[in-house]
Chain A
Amino acid sequence: MLKHARQGNTVTVKLDGELDQNSAARVRRELDDLISDARIKHLVLDMQDLTFMDSSGIGVVIGRYRALATRGGGVAVRGESSHVRRIMKLSGLYSILEEAR
């Protein structure tokens, strides 16, 4: 299970290892589980320990964003490497992300 902490209506989840198409299904499932409580509005993804991410990660973030946006919330990202940042920039992800911290 991914390391996580809840504070009020925000859940912070620490992603680790590699996020690719192979691991995306599991990560997606675990994240959905962690935000299943309808009172949760914000998801913070801590990417400090993420060693690799490809475009599969974009789908994971967008999917969670869609779920939380309907509750008036959203997703924030922090600790991402410059490499992950490039992938997220390329897909325009930063325009939908909330401010972390």
Chain B
Amino acid sequence: MLGSPLNNTRGARVKTRNHMRLLFDSRSENESFARVAVSAFMSQLSPTIEEMSDVKTAVSEAVTNAIVHGYRDTFGEVEIESSLTHDGYVVIEVSDAGCGIEDIERAMTPFFTSQPDMERAGMGFAVMKTFMDDLRVESRLGEGTRVTMRKLISNAAGKQ
């Protein structure tokens, strides 16, 4: 995977009010597990039903991408790391150690799909972008992809 997740959060953990990390097999069955796990974790911030749906959908898209595109015909592990910040954000990183994305800009273009015959809509990144406040995608060919997204949870905003 891209960099060490440990290094990635060691500093951040001090600044966050809570943090978790999940590692699971790149099986489609785990998409719903990932959604439920993240929504249970973020429920500490008392999100609205709509905020919860937004995050669940974004997580679903990112995990699906990791399984379907990152690992394509191979198999590996998907990692989700999530933090709840003191200023009310849920931060979610979804990483895989798969094939990586050759052209991130193209991959993020709505309706672009590398697998049109599979009836994929090519809307994964567009959904993540719309439903979350920030979206960052880092990828290296042959090494993997990491999607970092963030959303402000209104009920937790500004509370220290």
Contacts and interface: CB of A to CB of B under 8 A. Distances in A.
A62 interface: yes
A94 interface: no
Contacts of A9: none
Interface in B24-56: 28-29, 31-32, 35, 50, 53-54, 56
A54 B57 contact: yes
B157 interface: no
A20 B120 CA distance: 11
B26 to A, nearest CB: 12
A91 B119 CA distance: 14
Nearest to B67: A21
Contacts of B60: 20-21, 52, 54
B68 interface: yes
Interface in B119-133: 119-121, 123-124, 126-127, 130-131
Contacts of B29: 22
A83 B32 contact: no
Which of A28, A54, A55, A87 is the most central at the interface, judged by chain B CB atoms within 10 Å of its CB?
A54
Interface residues of B, number: 27
Contacts of A20: 28, 31-32, 60, 64
Given A55-B124, A59-B120, A87 B57 contact: yes
Give the dominant DSSP class at A's interface. Answer: helix
Contacts of A55: 61, 121, 123-124, 126-127
Nearest to A57: B121
A83 B53 contact: yes
Nearest to A54: B60
B18 to A, nearest CB: 24
Contact of B130 (A56, A62, A63, A90): A90
Interface of A: 18, 20-22, 24, 28, 52, 54-56, 58-60, 62-63, 82-83, 86-87, 90-91
Interface of B: 28-29, 31-32, 35, 50, 53-54, 56-57, 60-61, 64, 67-68, 110-111, 118-121, 123-124, 126-127, 130-131
